[in-house]
Structure 1
Amino acid sequence: MSRTSAASLITQLKSMSARHGNPNVFVSDNGPPFTSAEVSAWLQEQGTTQRTSSPLYPQGNGLVERAVQTLKHLLVRGGDPYVALQSYRASPLAHGFSPAELLMGRRIQTRLPMSADVRRPHLVDRTAFAAKDASLKSRQASDFNSRHRALDAPPLVPGIPVFVPDRKEPGIVTAEHSTRSLIVETPSGSVLRRNRSALIVDPPAGPANAVDNGEPASPVQRPSPATPDPERSGRVTRSGRAVHTPIRFR
């Protein structure tokens, strides 16, 4: 696309809808063309539900990001772009089916010899495909979590105070969004939508958490960041200084 205006985007969407039909759900990032009133109105006319990924969280639109990366590699290394696309669409993926086979129900003919029986149209076993695809995704998620030592973060419910790093200000979770993100309201009056990974839990301290026993509530004392905590972190730097866990992660 030479232009990324809303009108140009709608023209491309019309072309794809004419070829494959209207989609049930349209998922995109929060780019200006996708969030424009013109595109939203056109999708509503087609009976399509629009969903956007969490702001400042490219992983939420990872399927498209990975597809763009694959196509860039094909165009850079493949020479003729159409021959590269044909080879990619005809090559079986990890689950045993090629992209063309999943889309059209048949193998496409390439320069490689292929018998007529292989090219005969057939229905793909969707049950076996879904099971194999779910197994591959589960293994990828397990490998990623193990490699990055990822842990499940505790859920955030409305009313929990948090810190928004990109805005450098605190906020309060007010609601959950449909795209696995949260609505946060800041003291300045801004209403933000952020992914759970983009928020830092800020444990409240003070009279709000004190037990009402008839006595004046005293603020909760937090440990000083400079106080050594050998039980929580026994690590040291190369120079011999102790490594202390930040208070917000304790």
Structure 2
Amino acid sequence: MAVDYTSDYWEHERISSQDTCDVITALKKIFVRWGIPVQVQSDNGPQFTSQQFVHFAKEWCFTHTTSSLHYPQSNGKVESAVKIAKRILRRCADPELALLEFRNTTTENMTTSPIERLLGRSTRSTLPSDAKVKLSRAEQLSSEEKRAKRQRTTTQCNKSSKNLSPLKIGEPVMLRDYRAHQRSWKEAQVHKTLSDRSYAVVCDGEMFRRNRRDLRPKLQVLDNNQPDPVRQPCEVAENMALQNRPLRVCREPAWLNDYDQS
């Protein structure tokens, strides 16, 4: 699955395996049709982090970046395209025809379709349409419309999110360990800043890459310069002070006031 961030146009290729060689062959077919992109972003799958893919990026002259581990939101456009492609392949008797109509369908809150933004015109399909009208709409597409759509998406995403404070190199943190069955937290140390929200950390002598969401500053309670052994890693919270639970007050019911125990 490959998605164009500018036009929202995506393509899928059928591959026999997830080996690096098969993935590179599928990408070459897409690049031959539409040209080599300036930048390619992918997840951290072994087929994308291999030396063979590094050589492919260098030979075909494009920059390759990867998203944060265990954080699919950072590669959300591809995840959304995969969801749409699966829905088309499962529900449609003729997936190719359904895909053609989907590419010619006007995007929500916009006046053009993905194929119009990519080619500057619509493609012929089984549905009746006025090609001249679609062509004029594509020519009138402005960058403000695209920015407005991205702003609406950003606003919707930020409703349930918050900005996390940046981490410093050498700062002790708690790392979410996805290798454990219960996803426990382990002590680690920030080694390098990779991007605004991605860090390289050292844990148990190994190097890991994690999104800021999976790293929490290590909160220590000092008692005679020693950390509190009662506090567990899963209880570490960012910028939160320790609060003791108030004692429960037991009172006798009011109807016992008139009771004579003699």
| Residues 205 and 173 of structure 1: CA distance in aligned 2, closer, same or farther (over 3 Å) | farther
Q: CA deviation at 1:121?
A: 7.6
Match of 2:192 among 175, 184, 204: 175
Q: Specify the alignment match of 1:248 in structure 2.
A: 237
> Aligned residue for 1:155?
166
Check conservation: 2:219, 2:236, Cα contact below 8 A: no
Q: In the alignment, residue 171 of structure 2 is paired with which amino acid?
A: I
Contact kept? 1:161, 1:203, Cα under 8 Å = no
What is the CA–CA distance in structure 1 between the aligned matches of 2:227 and 2:48, rounded to whole Å?
47
1:194 to partner: Cα distance: 0.6
TM-score normalised to structure 2 length:
0.73
Which is greater in Rg?
2
Counterpart amino acid of residue 133 in structure 1: K
Name the structure 2 match of 1:238.
none
- The answer as to whether partners of 2:69 and 2:211 remain within 8 angstroms in 1 is yes
Give the equivalent residue in structure 2 for 1:63: 77
State the partner residue of 1:136.
Answer: 149
Deviating beyond 3 angstroms after TM superposition, the runs of 4 or more aligned structure 1 residues are: 119-126, 204-207
Residue pairs, 1:199-218, within 5 angstroms: 199-204=215-220, 218=224
CA distance in 2, matches of 1:174, 1:82: 48
Distance in 2 (CA, whole Å) between partners of 1:181 and 1:54 is 6
What CA distance in whole angstroms lies between the structure 2 residues aligned with 1:205 and 1:166? 23
Contact 1:109 1:119 survives alignment (8 Å): no
What's the secondary structure of 1:111's corresponding residue?
A: coil
- The one-letter code matched in structure 2 to 1:193 is R
Cα deviation, residue 219, structure 1: 2.3
What does residue range 1-250 of structure 1 map to in structure 2 within 5 Å?
Answer: 1-94=15-108, 95-118=110-133, 120=135, 124-125=139-140, 128=142, 130-146=143-159, 148=160, 150-166=161-177, 168-178=185-195, 180-186=197-203, 188-204=204-220, 218-219=224-225, 246=235, 248-249=237-238, 250=240
How much has 1:139 moved relative to structure 2? 2.2
Where 2:237 maps in the other structure, the secondary structure is helix
Q: Give the number of equivalent residue pairs.
A: 216
Q: Is the 8 A contact 2:216 2:236 kept in 1?
A: no
Q: Give yes or no for contact 1:105–1:122 (8 Å, CA) kept in 2.
A: no
Q: What is the CA-CA distance between 1:64 and the residue it aligns to? A: 0.6
Label 1:45 to 1:116 Cα distance change in 2 as closer, same or farther (>3 A): closer
Q: CA deviation at 1:37?
A: 1.1
Change (3 A) 1:91 1:122: closer
Q: How far 1:116 moved relative to its partner? A: 4.6
In structure 2, stretches of 5+ residues that fail to align are 1-14, 179-184, 241-262
Question: Which consecutive residues of structure 1, in runs of 5 or more, have no partner in the other structure?
Answer: 208-217, 226-245
Q: 1:59 to 1:32 in 2, by over 3 A?
A: same
CA distance in 2, matches of 1:141, 1:17: 29
CA distances 1:172-204 after superposition (whole Å, capped 9, x unpaired): 112111474101112x21111110001111135
The amino acid of 1:3's aligned partner reads S
Q: Distance in 2 between matches of 1:125 and 1:35?
A: 41
Q: How well do the aligned residues superpose, as a CA RMSD in angstroms?
A: 2.7
TM-score by length of 1: 0.76
